[in-house]
């Protein structure tokens, strides 16, 4: 049945865009290299923001690369059809992206020296952002109603699975020196502090001027402009009828959740996140 949703070890994927057959094989066979730089996120958590930040850091603040090459070519997603092909020809250092949960990510990473940056975002805002992006990721036509998508999200019955499992799984790496945990909210609060942290983690030394250029070119407005210039968002729009650079703010969930949904969410959050150090997160 072509309409059936494929899944790998319990995680739903989309046949059209994911290299579904390869995901399970990649776990054993994909060779992560010591020089790889990997961005790891649950969807809608600031992936493209981090892709541009790291691209700019490696370009010493020069925006020509991010202006001329779309994000999916600069930082291919290892599990996507288009990414898989692109990665084959990449030279070190390779820049990779993935939304895979820890139990599906190539196991060679764990014994490598590759650096990974994990971005987490308030899951309430993730729900809202994901809801607006579901066209390409819709498992269910009822998802056009927010309440239905909300329910599926809480059950983890969405593409890439449960947000809770994703973050808990990857946080098991948090004491490793090759793993940097950041949040979308802290990028918002002080991008300069975050960029300096990322530079230290990647051992890149940038001048004040170069840092200023990173900050300017990673702002929401300039990123949006670059995407229009290189046709990236136009292609997105055409293919999926969605925009990536949608609002880019924190706390929008308050305009979407009913009081009942807020309570349901908080109860589940407490259950699922029990035992994790709550100071890790700028939300509660």
129 binds ligand PPS (CB under 6 A): yes
Query: Measuring CA to CA, which residue among 170, 178, 171, 194 is closest to residue 35?
Result: 178
Question: If DSSP codes are grouped into helix, strand and coil, which group holds residue 46?
Answer: coil
Shortest separation between residue 226's beta carbon and ligand PPS, angstroms: 10
Binding residues among 223-242 for ligand PPS as defined by CB under 6 A: 223
The residue with tokens 């300069």 is: 192
Please identify, using beta-carbon distances, which residue of 108 and 240 lies nearer to ligand PPS: 240
Shortest separation between residue 160's beta carbon and ligand PPS, angstroms: 9
Its sign, for the CA torsion 43, 48, 51, 53, is negative
Query: Measuring CA to CA, which residue among 145, 154, 155 is closest to residue 256?
Result: 145
Binding-site size, ligand PPS (CB under 6 A): 20
63 binds ligand PPS (CB under 6 A): no
213 binds ligand PPS (CB under 6 A): no
45 binds ligand PPS (CB under 6 A): yes
d(CA 22, CA 29): 10
Active site residues: 99
Among 245, 257, 265, 272, indicate the residue that binds ligand PPS (CB under 6 A).
245
d(CA 209, CA 175): 32
Shortest separation between residue 276's beta carbon and ligand PPS, angstroms: 21
Among 19, 47, 55, 162, indicate the residue that binds ligand PPS (CB under 6 A).
47
What residues contact 62, with CB distance under 8 A and at least 6 apart? Answer: 56, 213
Tokens of 57: 């850091």
Shortest separation between residue 269's beta carbon and ligand PPS, angstroms: 19
In the complex, the residues that contact ligand PPS under the rule CB under 6 A are 41, 43-49, 125, 129, 132, 218-220, 223, 244-248
């Amino acid at each position: 049945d072509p309409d059936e949703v494929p899944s790998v070890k319990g995680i739903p994927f989309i046949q059209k865009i994911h290299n579904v057959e390869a995901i399970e094989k990649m776990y054993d066979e994909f060779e992560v290299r010591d020089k790889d730089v990997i961005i790891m996120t649950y969807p809608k958590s600031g992936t493209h923001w981090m892709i541009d930040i790291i691209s700019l850091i490696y370009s010493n603040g020069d925006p020509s690369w991010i202006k001329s090459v779309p994000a999916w070519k600069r930082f291919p997603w290892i599990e996507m059809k288009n990414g898989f092909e692109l990665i084959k020809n990449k030279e070190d250092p390779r820049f990779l992206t993935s939304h895979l949960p820890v139990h599906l990510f190539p196991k060679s990473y764990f014994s490598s020296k590759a650096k990974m940056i994990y971005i987490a975002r308030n899951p309430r805002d993730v729900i809202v952002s994901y809801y607006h992006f579901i066209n390409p990721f819709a498992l269910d036509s009822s998802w056009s109603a927010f309440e239905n998508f909300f329910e599926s999200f809480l059950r983890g019955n969405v593409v890439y699975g449960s947000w809770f499992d994703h973050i808990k799984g990857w946080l098991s790496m948090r004491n490793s020196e090759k793993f940097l945990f950041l949040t979308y909210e802290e990028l918002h609060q002080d991008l300069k502090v975050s960029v300096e942290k990322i530079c230290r983690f990647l051992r890149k030394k940038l001048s004040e001027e170069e840092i200023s250029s990173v900050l300017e070119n990673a702002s929401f407005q300039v990123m949006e402009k670059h995407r229009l210039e290189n046709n990236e968002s136009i292609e997105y729009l055409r293919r999926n009828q969605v925009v990536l650079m949608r609002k880019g703010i924190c706390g929008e969930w308050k305009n979407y959740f009913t009081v009942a949904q807020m309570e349901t969410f908080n109860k589940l959050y407490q259950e699922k996140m029990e035992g994790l150090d709550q100071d890790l997160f700028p939300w509660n």
